[in-house]
Chains A and B, each alone.
Chain A
Amino acid sequence: MNVKHDLVESVVAGKRLPLARLLTLVENNAPEGRAALDQLFAHTGRAHLIGVTGSPGSGKSSLVNQIALALRNPTNGKPARSVAIVAVDPTSPFTGGAVLGDRVRMRDLAGDPGIFIRSMASRGALGGLARATTGVVQALDAAGFDIVLVETVGAGQAEVDIARLAHTTLVIEAPGMGDDIQAIKAGILEIADILVINKADHPGVDSTVRALRAMLELGHPTHPHSFTGSTAPLWIPPVLQTIATQSEGINELVEAIDRHAAYLHTTGAWQARDRSRLQAELEQLVQVELNNNWRASVPPELFQETLAQVETRQISPYQAAKQLTLPLPELHPGC
Protein backbone atom coordinates (compact mmCIF):
# COMPACT_ATOMS: atom_id res chain seq x y z
CA MET A 1 0.00 0.00 0.00
CA ASN A 2 1.49 3.31 -1.09
CA VAL A 3 -0.39 5.27 1.54
CA LYS A 4 1.21 3.28 4.33
CA HIS A 5 4.63 3.64 2.79
CA ASP A 6 4.23 7.43 2.63
CA LEU A 7 3.01 7.47 6.21
CA VAL A 8 6.01 5.49 7.41
CA GLU A 9 8.46 7.67 5.45
CA SER A 10 6.88 10.89 6.71
CA VAL A 11 7.00 9.72 10.32
CA VAL A 12 10.65 8.67 10.08
CA ALA A 13 11.41 12.04 8.45
CA GLY A 14 9.97 13.73 11.54
CA LYS A 15 6.85 15.26 9.95
CA ARG A 16 4.43 16.15 12.69
CA LEU A 17 0.95 15.89 11.13
CA PRO A 18 1.56 12.37 9.72
CA LEU A 19 2.95 11.38 13.13
CA ALA A 20 -0.16 12.75 14.88
CA ARG A 21 -2.40 10.86 12.44
CA LEU A 22 -0.44 7.65 12.91
CA LEU A 23 -0.84 7.97 16.68
CA THR A 24 -4.62 8.17 16.19
CA LEU A 25 -4.60 5.05 13.99
CA VAL A 26 -2.53 3.21 16.61
CA GLU A 27 -4.77 4.42 19.40
CA ASN A 28 -7.86 3.22 17.53
CA ASN A 29 -6.20 -0.15 16.82
CA ALA A 30 -6.80 0.38 13.09
CA PRO A 31 -5.21 -2.16 10.71
CA GLU A 32 -3.38 0.69 8.91
CA GLY A 33 -1.78 1.75 12.17
CA ARG A 34 -0.62 -1.75 12.96
CA ALA A 35 0.82 -2.19 9.47
CA ALA A 36 2.71 1.11 9.80
CA LEU A 37 4.07 0.07 13.19
CA ASP A 38 5.35 -3.16 11.66
CA GLN A 39 7.43 -1.14 9.23
CA LEU A 40 8.48 1.40 11.82
CA PHE A 41 9.59 -1.15 14.37
CA ALA A 42 13.07 -1.45 12.83
CA HIS A 43 13.53 2.24 13.66
CA THR A 44 12.67 1.79 17.35
CA GLY A 45 14.89 1.01 20.31
CA ARG A 46 16.84 4.25 20.33
CA ALA A 47 14.85 6.55 22.61
CA HIS A 48 15.28 6.64 26.38
CA LEU A 49 11.80 5.79 27.69
CA ILE A 50 11.08 7.48 31.00
CA GLY A 51 7.96 6.68 33.00
CA VAL A 52 6.47 9.17 35.44
CA THR A 53 3.95 7.81 37.89
CA GLY A 54 2.55 8.66 41.31
CA SER A 55 -0.64 9.48 43.13
CA PRO A 56 -3.15 12.00 41.72
CA GLY A 57 -2.16 15.57 42.48
CA SER A 58 1.47 14.77 43.34
CA GLY A 59 2.59 17.03 40.50
CA LYS A 60 3.42 14.58 37.70
CA SER A 61 2.44 16.91 34.85
CA SER A 62 4.25 19.89 36.35
CA LEU A 63 7.39 17.78 36.78
CA VAL A 64 7.15 16.42 33.24
CA ASN A 65 6.93 20.04 32.07
CA GLN A 66 10.05 20.94 34.06
CA ILE A 67 12.04 17.85 33.01
CA ALA A 68 11.24 18.56 29.35
CA LEU A 69 12.29 22.22 29.77
CA ALA A 70 15.58 21.16 31.34
CA LEU A 71 16.26 18.65 28.56
CA ARG A 72 15.56 21.33 25.95
CA ASN A 73 17.72 23.96 27.70
CA PRO A 74 20.62 22.07 29.32
CA THR A 75 22.86 24.10 31.61
CA ASN A 76 25.82 21.72 31.67
CA GLY A 77 26.93 22.21 28.06
CA LYS A 78 25.26 19.01 26.85
CA PRO A 79 23.28 19.17 23.60
CA ALA A 80 19.54 19.78 23.85
CA ARG A 81 17.51 16.60 23.43
CA SER A 82 14.19 16.24 21.63
CA VAL A 83 11.33 15.17 23.86
CA ALA A 84 8.03 13.43 23.19
CA ILE A 85 5.47 13.35 25.98
CA VAL A 86 2.62 10.84 26.27
CA ALA A 87 0.19 11.88 29.01
CA VAL A 88 -2.45 9.32 30.00
CA ASP A 89 -5.63 10.32 31.82
CA PRO A 90 -8.53 8.07 32.83
CA THR A 91 -11.55 7.24 30.68
CA SER A 92 -14.97 7.37 32.34
CA PRO A 93 -16.13 3.81 32.94
CA PHE A 94 -19.72 4.95 32.45
CA THR A 95 -19.69 7.01 29.25
CA GLY A 96 -16.36 6.10 27.62
CA GLY A 97 -15.51 9.80 27.48
CA ALA A 98 -12.51 11.53 29.01
CA VAL A 99 -11.20 14.97 29.87
CA LEU A 100 -7.47 15.06 29.21
CA GLY A 101 -6.01 17.98 31.13
CA ASP A 102 -2.29 17.30 31.42
CA ARG A 103 -1.44 19.90 28.76
CA VAL A 104 -2.64 22.65 31.11
CA ARG A 105 0.59 22.19 33.11
CA MET A 106 2.78 22.02 30.02
CA ARG A 107 2.17 25.43 28.44
CA ASP A 108 5.86 26.37 28.85
CA LEU A 109 6.64 23.82 26.15
CA ALA A 110 4.47 25.45 23.47
CA GLY A 111 6.12 26.57 20.25
CA ASP A 112 9.18 24.32 20.59
CA PRO A 113 9.64 22.09 17.52
CA GLY A 114 11.76 19.73 19.65
CA ILE A 115 8.71 18.87 21.77
CA PHE A 116 5.68 16.74 20.89
CA ILE A 117 2.89 16.25 23.43
CA ARG A 118 0.14 13.69 23.00
CA SER A 119 -2.72 13.14 25.45
CA MET A 120 -4.20 9.65 25.69
CA ALA A 121 -7.30 8.35 27.42
CA SER A 122 -6.87 5.04 29.26
CA ARG A 123 -9.91 3.58 27.40
CA GLY A 124 -10.74 1.07 30.07
CA ALA A 125 -7.28 -0.38 30.59
CA LEU A 126 -6.16 -0.83 34.18
CA GLY A 127 -2.51 -0.59 35.09
CA GLY A 128 -2.08 3.16 34.60
CA LEU A 129 -1.62 3.18 30.82
CA ALA A 130 -3.85 2.65 27.78
CA ARG A 131 -3.63 -0.57 25.76
CA ALA A 132 -2.22 1.38 22.83
CA THR A 133 0.44 3.25 24.84
CA THR A 134 3.13 0.77 23.85
CA GLY A 135 2.38 1.32 20.16
CA VAL A 136 2.24 5.10 20.57
CA VAL A 137 5.62 5.06 22.31
CA GLN A 138 7.07 2.90 19.51
CA ALA A 139 5.84 5.41 16.92
CA LEU A 140 7.42 8.33 18.80
CA ASP A 141 10.65 6.34 19.20
CA ALA A 142 10.69 5.65 15.46
CA ALA A 143 10.03 9.34 14.76
CA GLY A 144 13.44 10.01 16.29
CA PHE A 145 12.73 11.60 19.66
CA ASP A 146 15.70 11.23 22.02
CA ILE A 147 13.50 10.99 25.09
CA VAL A 148 9.93 9.72 25.45
CA LEU A 149 8.32 10.74 28.74
CA VAL A 150 5.23 8.69 29.62
CA GLU A 151 3.00 10.11 32.34
CA THR A 152 0.57 7.56 33.78
CA VAL A 153 -2.86 8.20 35.22
CA GLY A 154 -2.78 9.06 38.90
CA ALA A 155 -1.66 5.74 40.35
CA GLY A 156 -1.84 3.92 43.64
CA GLN A 157 -0.54 0.43 44.21
CA ALA A 158 -1.39 -1.78 41.28
CA GLU A 159 -0.68 0.49 38.33
CA VAL A 160 2.79 -0.85 37.60
CA ASP A 161 2.59 -1.37 33.81
CA ILE A 162 4.82 1.66 33.37
CA ALA A 163 7.78 -0.20 34.89
CA ARG A 164 7.60 -2.75 32.07
CA LEU A 165 7.38 -0.07 29.40
CA ALA A 166 10.02 2.38 30.64
CA HIS A 167 13.79 2.14 30.95
CA THR A 168 13.65 4.52 33.89
CA THR A 169 10.63 4.87 36.18
CA LEU A 170 10.16 7.95 38.34
CA VAL A 171 7.72 7.63 41.20
CA ILE A 172 6.44 11.01 42.36
CA GLU A 173 5.16 11.51 45.88
CA ALA A 174 4.07 14.56 47.81
CA PRO A 175 4.88 15.02 51.50
CA GLY A 176 2.28 14.61 54.19
CA MET A 177 0.89 11.29 53.03
CA GLY A 178 1.12 10.10 56.63
CA ASP A 179 -0.01 6.54 57.05
CA ASP A 180 -0.83 6.31 53.36
CA ILE A 181 2.86 6.07 52.63
CA GLN A 182 2.84 2.78 54.50
CA ALA A 183 0.22 1.45 52.14
CA ILE A 184 2.00 2.36 48.93
CA LYS A 185 5.62 1.73 49.81
CA ALA A 186 5.64 -1.87 48.55
CA GLY A 187 4.62 -0.69 45.07
CA ILE A 188 7.13 2.13 45.21
CA LEU A 189 10.00 -0.14 46.15
CA GLU A 190 9.24 -2.51 43.34
CA ILE A 191 8.99 -0.12 40.43
CA ALA A 192 10.84 3.13 41.30
CA ASP A 193 14.25 3.73 39.77
CA ILE A 194 14.16 7.28 41.09
CA LEU A 195 11.91 8.52 43.90
CA VAL A 196 10.90 12.15 43.76
CA ILE A 197 9.31 14.01 46.65
CA ASN A 198 7.66 16.92 44.87
CA LYS A 199 6.16 19.92 46.69
CA ALA A 200 9.24 19.81 48.91
CA ASP A 201 8.29 23.20 50.36
CA HIS A 202 5.27 21.62 52.04
CA PRO A 203 5.46 20.51 55.67
CA GLY A 204 6.37 16.93 56.45
CA VAL A 205 8.97 16.54 53.71
CA ASP A 206 11.76 15.43 56.04
CA SER A 207 9.77 12.60 57.57
CA THR A 208 8.58 11.47 54.12
CA VAL A 209 12.18 11.36 52.84
CA ARG A 210 13.29 9.50 55.97
CA ALA A 211 10.52 6.93 55.69
CA LEU A 212 11.23 6.24 52.02
CA ARG A 213 15.00 6.00 52.54
CA ALA A 214 14.52 3.60 55.44
CA MET A 215 12.28 1.35 53.37
CA LEU A 216 14.67 1.41 50.41
CA GLU A 217 17.60 0.40 52.60
CA LEU A 218 15.59 -2.48 54.00
CA GLY A 219 14.18 -3.62 50.71
CA HIS A 220 16.87 -3.30 48.11
CA PRO A 221 20.01 -5.23 49.06
CA THR A 222 18.16 -8.55 49.01
CA HIS A 223 15.87 -8.02 46.03
CA PRO A 224 17.15 -7.61 42.49
CA HIS A 225 14.94 -5.67 40.09
CA SER A 226 11.79 -7.70 39.75
CA PHE A 227 11.18 -6.84 36.12
CA THR A 228 14.65 -7.43 34.73
CA GLY A 229 15.79 -10.58 36.48
CA SER A 230 19.26 -9.08 36.13
CA THR A 231 22.12 -10.10 38.43
CA ALA A 232 24.05 -6.89 37.66
CA PRO A 233 25.13 -4.55 40.48
CA LEU A 234 22.09 -3.13 42.21
CA TRP A 235 20.82 0.36 41.54
CA ILE A 236 19.66 1.92 44.77
CA PRO A 237 16.96 4.44 43.83
CA PRO A 238 17.93 7.95 44.88
CA VAL A 239 15.36 9.95 46.83
CA LEU A 240 15.24 13.48 45.41
CA GLN A 241 13.31 16.58 46.41
CA THR A 242 11.77 18.98 43.91
CA ILE A 243 9.46 21.98 43.81
CA ALA A 244 8.16 21.78 40.25
CA THR A 245 6.30 25.09 40.40
CA GLN A 246 9.59 26.88 41.24
CA SER A 247 11.89 24.76 39.02
CA GLU A 248 13.82 23.60 42.09
CA GLY A 249 15.70 20.32 42.12
CA ILE A 250 15.08 19.75 38.42
CA ASN A 251 18.72 19.71 37.26
CA GLU A 252 19.54 17.15 39.95
CA LEU A 253 16.59 15.05 38.77
CA VAL A 254 17.71 15.16 35.14
CA GLU A 255 21.25 14.22 36.26
CA ALA A 256 19.83 11.24 38.16
CA ILE A 257 17.89 10.18 35.04
CA ASP A 258 21.09 10.34 32.98
CA ARG A 259 23.00 8.45 35.67
CA HIS A 260 20.35 5.74 35.57
CA ALA A 261 20.61 5.51 31.77
CA ALA A 262 24.41 5.17 32.10
CA TYR A 263 23.94 2.47 34.74
CA LEU A 264 21.55 0.56 32.47
CA HIS A 265 24.03 0.71 29.59
CA THR A 266 27.12 -0.29 31.58
CA THR A 267 25.43 -3.24 33.30
CA GLY A 268 23.54 -4.56 30.29
CA ALA A 269 20.28 -3.90 32.07
CA TRP A 270 19.17 -1.66 29.18
CA GLN A 271 19.02 -4.69 26.88
CA ALA A 272 17.55 -6.84 29.61
CA ARG A 273 14.72 -4.35 30.05
CA ASP A 274 14.27 -4.02 26.30
CA ARG A 275 14.11 -7.76 26.02
CA SER A 276 11.67 -8.18 28.88
CA ARG A 277 9.48 -5.40 27.52
CA LEU A 278 9.42 -6.91 24.05
CA GLN A 279 8.67 -10.29 25.52
CA ALA A 280 5.74 -8.85 27.48
CA GLU A 281 4.41 -7.07 24.41
CA LEU A 282 4.78 -10.11 22.20
CA GLU A 283 3.03 -12.36 24.69
CA GLN A 284 0.16 -9.92 25.05
CA LEU A 285 -0.33 -9.71 21.29
CA VAL A 286 -0.25 -13.46 20.96
CA GLN A 287 -2.95 -13.75 23.59
CA VAL A 288 -5.16 -11.43 21.56
CA GLU A 289 -4.72 -13.70 18.54
CA LEU A 290 -5.51 -17.02 20.12
CA ASN A 291 -7.42 -18.55 22.98
CA ASN A 292 -5.83 -20.39 25.88
CA ASN A 293 -5.43 -23.63 23.91
CA TRP A 294 -2.58 -22.03 22.11
CA ARG A 295 -0.50 -22.09 25.28
CA ALA A 296 -0.70 -25.88 25.45
CA SER A 297 0.13 -26.44 21.79
CA VAL A 298 2.93 -24.04 20.85
CA PRO A 299 6.53 -25.33 21.27
CA PRO A 300 8.49 -23.14 23.71
CA GLU A 301 11.60 -23.28 21.49
CA LEU A 302 9.67 -21.74 18.63
CA PHE A 303 8.52 -18.98 20.91
CA GLN A 304 12.07 -18.24 22.03
CA GLU A 305 13.42 -18.24 18.45
CA THR A 306 10.72 -15.84 17.43
CA LEU A 307 11.48 -13.60 20.34
CA ALA A 308 15.15 -13.57 19.35
CA GLN A 309 14.19 -12.36 15.87
CA VAL A 310 12.14 -9.58 17.41
CA GLU A 311 15.00 -8.63 19.67
CA THR A 312 17.29 -8.17 16.67
CA ARG A 313 14.58 -6.08 14.96
CA GLN A 314 14.18 -8.42 11.99
CA ILE A 315 10.44 -8.55 12.55
CA SER A 316 7.96 -6.64 14.67
CA PRO A 317 6.13 -8.21 17.61
CA TYR A 318 2.89 -8.19 15.66
CA GLN A 319 4.44 -10.08 12.76
CA ALA A 320 5.86 -12.57 15.22
CA ALA A 321 2.43 -13.03 16.76
CA LYS A 322 1.02 -13.83 13.32
CA GLN A 323 3.70 -16.48 12.75
CA LEU A 324 3.00 -18.11 16.06
CA THR A 325 -0.73 -18.33 15.41
CA LEU A 326 -0.51 -20.35 12.17
CA PRO A 327 -2.63 -23.55 12.17
CA LEU A 328 -0.86 -26.37 14.00
CA PRO A 329 0.29 -28.41 10.94
CA GLU A 330 2.17 -25.35 9.70
CA LEU A 331 3.79 -24.85 13.07
CA HIS A 332 4.98 -28.47 13.12
CA PRO A 333 5.74 -29.33 9.48
CA GLY A 334 7.25 -32.65 10.56
CA CYS A 335 4.19 -33.97 12.38
Chain B
Amino acid sequence: MTERKIRVLIAKPGLDGHDRGAKVIARALRDAGMEIIYTGLRQTPEMIAEAALQEDVDAIGISILSGAHMVLVPRILDLLRANGQEGVCVFVGGIIPENDVPSLINAGVAQVYGPGTPTTQVVEDITRAVLQQAQV
Protein backbone atom coordinates (compact mmCIF):
# COMPACT_ATOMS: atom_id res chain seq x y z
CA MET B 1 0.00 0.00 0.00
CA THR B 2 1.40 3.37 -1.01
CA GLU B 3 1.86 5.74 1.92
CA ARG B 4 2.80 9.26 0.91
CA LYS B 5 3.99 11.88 3.41
CA ILE B 6 4.77 15.52 2.81
CA ARG B 7 8.47 16.08 3.51
CA VAL B 8 9.61 19.59 4.44
CA LEU B 9 13.12 20.93 5.00
CA ILE B 10 13.30 23.65 7.64
CA ALA B 11 16.45 25.66 7.05
CA LYS B 12 18.28 28.44 8.86
CA PRO B 13 20.66 30.11 6.41
CA GLY B 14 23.22 32.75 7.30
CA LEU B 15 24.55 34.00 10.57
CA ASP B 16 21.62 34.68 12.90
CA GLY B 17 21.38 32.22 15.75
CA HIS B 18 17.69 32.50 16.60
CA ASP B 19 15.87 29.31 15.68
CA ARG B 20 12.84 29.52 17.95
CA GLY B 21 10.59 30.37 15.00
CA ALA B 22 12.03 27.54 12.91
CA LYS B 23 11.38 25.09 15.74
CA VAL B 24 7.81 26.31 16.27
CA ILE B 25 7.06 25.81 12.58
CA ALA B 26 8.79 22.41 12.57
CA ARG B 27 6.65 21.32 15.49
CA ALA B 28 3.42 22.62 13.93
CA LEU B 29 4.10 20.83 10.65
CA ARG B 30 4.99 17.65 12.53
CA ASP B 31 1.69 17.85 14.37
CA ALA B 32 -0.01 18.16 10.98
CA GLY B 33 1.47 14.77 10.06
CA MET B 34 4.38 15.95 7.92
CA GLU B 35 7.97 14.74 8.06
CA ILE B 36 10.30 17.61 8.88
CA ILE B 37 14.02 17.57 8.23
CA TYR B 38 15.75 20.12 10.43
CA THR B 39 19.31 21.04 9.51
CA GLY B 40 20.38 23.31 12.34
CA LEU B 41 21.82 26.81 12.42
CA ARG B 42 24.17 28.70 10.09
CA GLN B 43 23.64 26.79 6.87
CA THR B 44 25.00 28.04 3.57
CA PRO B 45 22.65 28.10 0.54
CA GLU B 46 24.76 25.25 -0.88
CA MET B 47 24.19 23.13 2.25
CA ILE B 48 20.45 23.79 2.11
CA ALA B 49 20.17 22.88 -1.58
CA GLU B 50 22.22 19.73 -1.01
CA ALA B 51 20.01 18.64 1.89
CA ALA B 52 16.87 19.37 -0.15
CA LEU B 53 18.17 17.16 -2.93
CA GLN B 54 19.29 14.22 -0.79
CA GLU B 55 16.05 14.30 1.20
CA ASP B 56 13.86 14.80 -1.93
CA VAL B 57 11.67 17.26 -0.04
CA ASP B 58 8.37 18.66 -1.29
CA ALA B 59 8.84 22.04 0.39
CA ILE B 60 11.49 24.18 2.08
CA GLY B 61 10.83 26.64 4.88
CA ILE B 62 13.57 29.24 5.19
CA SER B 63 13.77 31.13 8.47
CA ILE B 64 15.74 34.39 8.34
CA LEU B 65 16.01 37.13 10.93
CA SER B 66 19.36 38.57 9.87
CA GLY B 67 18.23 40.82 7.02
CA ALA B 68 20.27 38.91 4.45
CA HIS B 69 17.20 37.42 2.77
CA MET B 70 17.60 39.35 -0.52
CA VAL B 71 20.97 37.61 -1.04
CA LEU B 72 20.41 34.19 0.50
CA VAL B 73 16.92 33.35 -0.74
CA PRO B 74 17.54 33.98 -4.50
CA ARG B 75 20.78 32.02 -4.22
CA ILE B 76 18.91 29.02 -2.75
CA LEU B 77 16.28 29.25 -5.49
CA ASP B 78 19.01 29.33 -8.17
CA LEU B 79 20.69 26.25 -6.70
CA LEU B 80 17.38 24.37 -6.54
CA ARG B 81 16.75 25.13 -10.22
CA ALA B 82 20.30 24.07 -11.12
CA ASN B 83 19.69 20.75 -9.35
CA GLY B 84 16.41 20.11 -11.19
CA GLN B 85 14.28 20.83 -8.13
CA GLU B 86 12.35 23.84 -9.44
CA GLY B 87 9.14 22.09 -8.36
CA VAL B 88 9.97 22.39 -4.66
CA CYS B 89 7.69 24.87 -2.86
CA VAL B 90 9.77 27.48 -1.01
CA PHE B 91 8.38 29.66 1.76
CA VAL B 92 10.16 32.23 3.88
CA GLY B 93 9.53 33.27 7.47
CA GLY B 94 11.12 35.84 9.75
CA ILE B 95 11.67 39.56 9.71
CA ILE B 96 11.13 40.52 6.07
CA PRO B 97 10.36 44.21 5.24
CA GLU B 98 7.11 44.70 3.27
CA ASN B 99 9.04 46.22 0.35
CA ASP B 100 11.10 43.07 -0.15
CA VAL B 101 8.13 40.71 -0.31
CA PRO B 102 7.18 41.32 -3.99
CA SER B 103 10.70 40.70 -5.26
CA LEU B 104 10.98 37.50 -3.22
CA ILE B 105 7.65 36.30 -4.65
CA ASN B 106 8.89 37.28 -8.12
CA ALA B 107 12.05 35.27 -7.57
CA GLY B 108 9.91 32.17 -6.96
CA VAL B 109 9.03 32.15 -3.26
CA ALA B 110 5.52 30.81 -2.64
CA GLN B 111 4.77 32.75 0.55
CA VAL B 112 6.44 35.12 3.01
CA TYR B 113 5.36 34.94 6.65
CA GLY B 114 5.98 37.62 9.26
CA PRO B 115 5.68 37.53 13.05
CA GLY B 116 2.23 36.58 14.30
CA THR B 117 1.33 34.29 11.41
CA PRO B 118 -0.93 31.50 12.72
CA THR B 119 0.79 28.14 12.26
CA THR B 120 -2.47 26.72 10.92
CA GLN B 121 -2.17 29.05 7.94
CA VAL B 122 1.35 27.80 7.18
CA VAL B 123 0.13 24.18 7.40
CA GLU B 124 -2.77 24.89 5.05
CA ASP B 125 -0.63 26.77 2.52
CA ILE B 126 2.05 24.07 2.37
CA THR B 127 -0.46 21.25 2.08
CA ARG B 128 -2.27 23.02 -0.75
CA ALA B 129 0.94 23.97 -2.59
CA VAL B 130 2.40 20.46 -2.37
CA LEU B 131 -0.83 18.79 -3.51
CA GLN B 132 -1.05 21.21 -6.46
CA GLN B 133 2.55 20.47 -7.39
CA ALA B 134 1.87 16.72 -7.25
CA GLN B 135 -0.91 17.12 -9.82
CA VAL B 136 1.26 19.01 -12.32
A contact residues vs B (CB 8 Å cutoff): 16-17, 20-21, 23-24, 28-31, 91-92, 95-101, 103-104, 107, 110-111, 116-119, 121, 123
Contact pattern, B 1-32, Cβ under 8 Å of A = 1, otherwise 0? 11111010000000000000000001101111
Pair A23/B56 contact, Cβ less than 8 Å: yes
Q: Does B39 contact A (CB under 8 A)?
A: yes
Q: Would you give the 0/1 interface string for B23-52, flagging 1 where the beta carbon is closer than 8 Å to chain A?
A: 000110111111111111001101100110
Which of the listed residues A28, A92, A98, A104 has the most CB atoms from chain B within 10 Å of its own CB? A98
B97: min CB distance to chain A, Å: 29
Q: How far is the CA of A123 from the CA of B33 in the complex (A)?
A: 11
- Contact partner of A21 among B5, B37, B56, CB < 8 A? B56
A-chain residues with CB within 8 Å of residue B33 when the two chains form the complex: 95-97
Is B55 at the interface (CB under 8 A from chain A)?
Answer: yes
Chain B residues near A95: list those with CB within 8 A: 30-33
Question: Which residues from chain B contact A91 at a C-beta distance below 8 Å?
Answer: 35
Q: List 22 A-B contacts (CB under 8 A).
A: A16-B53, A16-B54, A17-B84, A20-B53, A24-B56, A29-B3, A92-B30, A95-B31, A97-B32, A97-B33, A97-B34, A97-B36, A98-B35, A101-B38, A103-B38, A107-B39, A110-B47, A111-B47, A111-B50, A116-B54, A118-B55, A121-B5
4 nearest A-B pairs in the assembled complex, by CB-CB distance: A104-B40, A97-B30, A20-B56, A110-B47
B120 to chain A: which residues have CB within 8 Å?
none
Query: Could you tell me the distance between the alpha carbons of A118 and B26 in the complex, rounded to whole angstroms?
Result: 18
Bound-state CA distance A91–B5 (Å) is: 11
User: What CA separation (Å) do A291 and B8 show in the bound complex?
Assistant: 37
Query: Inside 8 A of A116's CB, which chain B residues have their CB?
Result: 54
Residues of B within 8 A of A96 (CB): 5, 33
A107: min CB distance to chain B, Å: 6
Whether B53 lies near A100 (C-beta < 8 A) is no
Q: For the complex, would chain B's binding face be called helix, strand, loop or mixed by DSSP majority?
A: mixed
The smallest C-beta distance from A10 to any residue of chain B, in angstroms, reads 11
Chain B residue numbers with a CB within 8 Å of A100 are 35-38
Interface status of B119 (Cβ within 8 A of chain A): no
Question: Is B127 engaged at the interface, CB distance under 8 Å to the other chain?
Answer: no
A11 to chain B, nearest CB (A): 13
Nearest-CB distance from B36 to chain A (Å)? 5
Q: Assess whether B2 is in contact with A97, with CB atoms less than 8 Å apart.
A: no
A28 and B56 form a contact (CB under 8 A): no
Bound together, the chains give a CA A18 to CA B34 distance in angstroms of: 22
Compute how far the CA of A109 lies from the CA of B120 in the bound complex, rounded to whole angstroms: 34
State the CA gap A266–B18 with chains docked (Å).
52
Is B37's CB under 8 angstroms from A103's CB? yes
Does B85 have its Cβ within 8 Å of any Cβ on chain A? yes
For residue A133, give the distance in angstroms from its CB to the closest CB of chain B.
Answer: 14
Is B103 close to A, CB under 8 A?
no
Q: Are A30 and B2 in contact (CB under 8 A)?
A: yes
A103 and B56 in contact (CB under 8 A), knowing A17-B84, A96-B33? no
